[in-house]
Chains A and B, each alone.
Chain A
């Protein structure tokens, strides 16, 4: 236990004769000796006691016999100590059989892993990628191959390697007081030598330059995206835009049965005057609207919005005022609209007032009318921004 200087004279020390010689031809390496077993350990004269201890641990199991004496506590240089271990001489016969069983078991697991790996390779080429067995069997191959390696190693470790309990001393994590002071002094001296403390101008210009340079990448952040200029306030709905379904079919009065609902997009005339529905993601993200046909007299509009609906047809933004999910769950008899993301519930008959969940504002209503051809049209854009709240939303 007190042999802490052992390492200094061991073969690894560059100053030791063995270390200098390196013993390339003398067979002094631990690899050789662990291979030839305990007999060679005695001849490894150049080895330090640390390596001998290693060896003892390695061969006590490997040779399979004649290790009835409990090994002396082995001390591995300054690094670790193998605690004394108990061995029962009378268990030798039993243990030898157990050892052989262990070898067989490990071999089995490794062989299984190899077979699974081959199966994976074969299947990768020969398997039909469109068959339902393909992925599961590949997964099983990977699983079995990995499990085979893993279990084999565990069994090897548990059955074939000597068990040990080693002790290692901890060393204080902090440096010695002398080192701490020396470091601080060295640093302070260096600081003095730079003269940063004395040259106010140097210090300030350096800091200013570094700070300004630091701003440069910050400035580049602005390049990632524009500053909002009212995009959040508006949608693609305009006066006269038709309410068209995803297929581009503009809806007419009477197309929707009572208790019917349609997800509609703005259809605006192109150069030829033909109405084209805008169903791209950018438009859909803020302009999606639900057109719902209520029973006659069911709607209770906010005062001032009596003219925003047509014969029980009401149109509300589909974008939830909470987190922006499409509020898609419409209950025909209770007239609830439910958002599946956070369960905000809106009451359609009362201008989509939030009645449950975390949403705090009603769904914005789109004022609609019917044009001369009987098509539903928007009277204007929404009069308020759609979707979730943000700081400067007014």
Chain B
């Protein structure tokens, strides 16, 4: 039977209910996706000693213009004497070195050198002076590492810059603490021991090797944690939550008011 129409309101079918159905469907799909979405597995190993000579050749070709012929440093770049193989391995495997241009910010990129050349370069830098070696993590050690202890150490030492879920954060004057989502356990250990860029150095007396492995294990966990409550919203806390409540929550219910409050469908 008729929609009794008002003299002044034109009877017009609004597509809103259909839109809402679609939205609802999207919510359902999002929910299902959350349940079946694949989770990447962490993995990481690697240490070796390669020929120092091969490394020296590579070094002289690719690094010496900034770091000096024997890694003694220039006014453009710091000395590499004593930084250890761990530092070189970290910088090269994370693609931070070589820099695309002098003075650029060292950001994570795809590595320039293939793995065997990185091995050689690291061995060469490690041979310059005693320094932290490339760490290795035994399977036993990894399995024994206590996630809870790693978490406590991470919150006490790392979260202030890298954020509780390893999402990174801002530092002063345009510098940034990187997100840890791509860091392998070995890279995490190397960073702890060598303090790349502005990161402080943590010695084995402060954080012993088992503890460092526990931290690395926690980093692997927390950067890709299970989200029992639905979409993780980037694990960045109240800011994405505020965006969601305004852009989805408030906008959604206001749109519903527009639909409900309109005269006749």
Q: Which residues of chain A have a CB within 8 Å of any CB of chain B?
A: 60-62, 64-65, 84-88, 91-92, 95-96, 98-99, 132-137, 139-140, 143-144, 147, 150-151, 154-155, 158-159, 162-165, 245-246, 249, 251-252, 255-263, 292, 326, 328-334, 336, 338, 340, 345, 356
Contacts and interface: CB of A to CB of B under 8 A. Distances in A.
A155 B18 CA distance: 12
15 contacts: A87-B2, A88-B2, A135-B229, A139-B31, A147-B20, A150-B256, A155-B17, A164-B4, A246-B152, A249-B205, A332-B195, A334-B173, A336-B171, A338-B172, A345-B172
Contacts of B28: 140, 144
B177 A147 contact: no
B256 to A, nearest CB: 8
Contact of A61 (B4, B173, B230): B4
B236 interface: no
Contacts of A259: 195, 200-201
B6 A163 contact: yes
Contacts of B1: 61-62, 64-65, 92, 95-96, 98-99
Interface residues of B, number: 48
Contacts of B156: 246, 263
Given A260-B201, A260-B206, A329-B177, A136 B34 contact: yes
A163 B171 contact: no
Contacts of A134: 228
A147 B24 contact: yes
Interface stretch (B51-59, B213-221, B257-265): B257-265
B195 A262 contact: no
A132 B169 contact: no
Contacts of B31: 136-137, 139-140
B200 A260 contact: yes
B154 to A, nearest CB: 12
Contacts of A133: 35
Question: Taking each of A99, A249, A330, which has the highest tally of chain B beta carbons within 10 Å of its own beta carbon?
Answer: A330
Given A260-B200, A260-B202, A329-B160, A92 B259 contact: no
Interface in B77-104: none
Question: Taking each of A140, A258, A326, which has the highest tally of chain B beta carbons within 10 Å of its own beta carbon?
Answer: A140
A96 B227 CA distance: 50
Given A98-B2, A135-B230, 17 more contacts: A85-B6, A85-B7, A86-B5, A86-B7, A96-B1, A132-B226, A132-B227, A137-B35, A154-B17, A158-B264, A163-B5, A163-B264, A255-B205, A257-B202, A260-B203, A328-B159, A332-B195
Contacts of B24: 143-144, 147
B194 to A, nearest CB: 10
A121 B31 CA distance: 19
Contacts of A147: 20, 24
B259 A329 contact: no
B151 to A, nearest CB: 13
B35 A136 contact: yes
A352 B131 CA distance: 30
B4 A85 contact: yes
Question: Taking each of B152, B202, B227, which has the highest tally of chain A beta carbons within 10 Å of its own beta carbon?
Answer: B202
Nearest to A292: B200
Contact of A356 (B6, B159, B172): B172
Contacts of B195: 257, 259-260, 332
A262 B157 CA distance: 8
Contact of A261 (B172, B200, B205): B200
B3 interface: yes
Nearest to B198: A331
Interface string B27-67: 11001001100000000000000000000000000000000
Interface in B146-176: 152, 156-157, 159-161, 169, 171-173, 175
